Amino acid sequence: MKYRIALLFVAFFHIQAWATKTTFYPANHQNIQYIGRGDFSNPLQPKFWASGAYVLINFSGSSFTAHLNDEMLWGNILNYLEVKIDNQPAFRIRLSGEENKLLLAKNLPKGKHTILICKNSESENGYISFTGFDCEKLLPPPAPQKRKMEFIGDSITCGAGSDESEIKCEAKGSSWHDQHNAYFAYGPSTARNLNAQWHLTSVSGIGLMHSCCGKKIIMPPVYGKINPARDSLVWDFSKYQPDVVTICLGQNDGIQDSTQFTSAYVNFMKKLRGYYPKAKLVMLTSPMASPQLKAALAKYISAVKTTLNQSGENNIASYFFEIRANGGCGKHPSLAEHQQIANELSAFLKKEMDW
């Protein structure tokens, strides 16, 4: 009897071991789908600086592990991720060091699963680079969503100061990067509402002609970079041609000379048109803006639209947010407010694009 029990135990152990066996798949595997501006010069370690850059993977098996590196800019751990598996609620992870082996799923039911891993932190928090993934079997990726969107902006678009779910703004030791959540920012949330892919091209503090906080860059000259914050790598625009591009700049510029700001905006719109011949370009007011700044931005944007229309540019639109959102850290929008912003923008774009 004891011998029979022992045999059953050994058999059960082997069945379990077989069931949980995983394979390492390198980061350049054809079944891995990356979305977002990235540096693929080393395909075994693609690097992503941009807020909201994400990877989509289909797999089978009960567990899933991701291997990725953190640049550890200035020697610090600055990057956060958002992870979503199947239809389960998304969850937040802070990287723990330069090299990270993250068990993101375990005890999953048999069958096919989908995982999305999104960079919550922005380019000024350094890059993350994926090196590979462990699972039972990597499956062909999900069919890419046909609709594509890009959101250009500043800290609002980055999702800065929005997520206090783990570290409150005023908590001891809290730093400005601890409340970043690009996944639930208005841009990706709008894209998900409209069943679209997303890119975020955004840097905290950046402006159209004047940035805040001593920042020396402004958006137009750095827009074509993979990392607009400080990198020299040039982005290949042929890799991603969006249907819609929204521009949410002006919060950091503040109230400027109307003629100068309008001229700078017109030139930037022409630059965008050169990159995206077919995209709808949508100018937005800042959802953080004071009533005075909102009125000024609305005036500037209306003038830009008129000027471009007169030159024959008609594939443009504008939207002035109703909400004033500053319930997060540093008077940035909170997570809940980002959803309100996304709902406003989604309703407008759904009608504008006939989606």
Nearest-angstrom CA–CA distance, 343 and 320:
13
pLDDT at 321 over 70: yes
What proportions of the chain, in percent to the nearest 5, are helix, strand and coil? 30, 25, 45
Backbone angles phi, psi at 41, to 5 degrees: -60, -30
Whether 55 contacts 116, CB under 8 Å: yes
| Residue count of the chain | 355
Looking at the DSSP bridge assignments, the partners of residue 34 are 55
Nearest-angstrom CA–CA distance, 336 and 248:
19
Pairing of strands 54-60, 112-119: antiparallel
Q: Which residue in this structure is represented by tokens 């109230």?
A: 255
- Please tell me whether residue 321 adopts helix, strand or coil conformation: coil
pLDDT at 1 over 80: no
Residue 112: its H or E element: strand 112-119
- The sign of the CA dihedral 289, 199, 97, 205 is negative
Nearest-angstrom CA–CA distance, 35 and 150:
11
Q: What CA–CA distances, in Å, run from 127 to 76, 153, 182?
A: 12, 19, 14
22-139: what fold? Jelly Rolls (2.60.120)
Domain boundaries, the chain: 22-139, 147-352
Backbone angles phi, psi at 200, to 5 degrees: -115, 130
CATH of the structural domain 147-352, one choice from 3.40.50.1110, 3.40.140.10, 3.50.50.60, 2.40.160.40: 3.40.50.1110
For the stretch 49-76, pLDDT in tens is 999 999 999 999 999 999 999 999 888 8
Q: Which residue in this structure is represented by tokens 């700078």?
A: 264
For the stretch 109-125, pLDDT in tens is 999 999 999 999 999 99
Q: 173-182, 189-198, 255-264, 268-277: which has the minimum mean pLDDT?
A: 173-182
Strand order from edge to edge, sheet including 196-202: 196-202, 147-153, 244-248, 280-284, 316-319
Looking at the DSSP bridge assignments, the partners of residue 54 are 35, 118
Q: Which residue in this structure is represented by tokens 């990725």?
A: 68
Nearest-angstrom CA–CA distance, 326 and 189:
18
- What integer pLDDT is reported at residue 20 of this predicted model? 66
pLDDT at 203 over 90: yes
Structure letter (DSSP) for residue 241: -
Q: Which residue in this structure is represented by tokens 């004033």?
A: 324
- Model confidence, pTM: 0.93
Residue 214: pLDDT band with limits 50, 70, 90: confident
For the stretch 237-288, pLDDT in tens is 999 999 999 999 999 999 999 999 999 999 999 999 999 999 999 999 999 9
